[in-house]
Structure 1
Amino acid sequence: MFHQTDIRTLRPGLTPFPTDVFTADQPWLARHLLPLISIDLGVLRPALTGTIATMLCPIEPDEGCIGEETAAHHTEFTGTNWIAFELTADNRMRFLGEEGYFLGDQVADKHVTEMTESYAKAHAYFQSHGRLASYSRYGDGSAGEQAYLDALGGQVSNGNWVETAPIPAAFALTFTAAAYDRHAPEDAERVIISRDGNPFFSVAEVAGYNWCAAGPDAIVMLYEPHSRTVLFSFDWS
């Protein structure tokens, strides 16, 4: 199983700041989600070479969990702290939810500006230096070089995100015996997430503030090949 941590050198198949990420019929997604890095899933599973999914950072919320205040717009694929996408044949991300899931204009302008401007600065730094640097609100305002990804591949992690909010109805989440065994090997499978009985595998994790002014402590990205579903949850440690 491929597993690498603290990704600071780009390997083939990893493309920061990708463009044309979302489907043409959902242009509004660009107002809510920042495309961080596209990942050719062949890096993790050779049979999936050419299948390219994109790590996304939500701009909202400033406090709390995404989707927490928009329950009326939750679907079987989206809920508090959970969002899902279909990966189209041409590797675009199609949101499996409603536009009303996002708070949009209800988010403070100051926060939106801080997120989008810090992302733009990080992009400019990458273009000039070939490395990722964050302009985090937790720093001194200067560029601080960061890992593109905190983890690539490996087992599905067992962090706060698995218990922050119930998983949407289209998916199932179960814990293995290793989740309750403190003597289990570090690389033992502890969490299984599936859709229609088909398991997801771990694609990558990264802190939102590696790329932007703020964000989750870990953006967790999973993929299920049969349905081409990309599932995200967010860890707030």
Structure 2
Amino acid sequence: MVREVITSKDNTRIKNLRKLHKRKERSRTGMFLIDGEHLVEEAVAAGQRIHYLIAEADYTFTFDASDFEVVYVSAPVLKSLSQLEAPQGVMAALTYVPPEVSGDKVLVLDDVQDPGNLGSLIRTADAFGFDRVVVSRGTVDPFSDKVLRSAQGSTFHISIEVADAGGAIREFDGMTIGTSLRDAEFLDEVPQPDRLLVVLGNEGRGVSGELLGFVDRTVKIHMPGRSESLNVAIAGGILMHHFKS
């Protein structure tokens, strides 16, 4: 059987896929692209809704791809779609399906702007048992390429939602804490609750005053050195490890 291979970068399907690099198009279609073997394998294993796989003509799948539509493309066409310096031969177009979670440990992110920070926080939440992440509408898109690559597949292991951060805090049935350098207690003084929601803030201003007004307690990390603050992803890692499941 002769395999049909798309060789034109101007192919309509390819042009439509390329549009998914923009947040507006991802929001409109509910679809996004993932790039590389690891992310594709993680998405398949997690039962994500894969519309189709995109692969180079001579690519050999490491899993059973018979249940999926595969769009075969030439190497130049794949490179036009990929945002990797060295494409790995396979991508996928999918719609995110959040897994069922307990929601006992929740991370809320208030206008985090750096994709690397957001991806690292998602990955760290996954590592330490925070199975639900709520990102404010002012936060960088969790389904952008840089965030997805930084999260390393953890996107598919936990529930991620873009929502009103204040509403998520007010509706949570359990202890809620936010980080602040003012009028805050040290992290070590906070008890270990059964249900917990942690709020982390923007890289520049921290958690907004409005959101701090909603939480039960404000906390800070004891830092005996001379630095006045921590990167939000590092601070989040310390907090989530402290309260790990």
**TM-score class, shorter:** under 0.3
Instruction: Specify the structure having the higher radius of gyration (Cα).
Output: 2
More helix by share: 2
More strand by share: 1
Q: TM-score, normalised by structure 2?
A: 0.21
Q: TM-score, normalised by structure 1?
A: 0.22
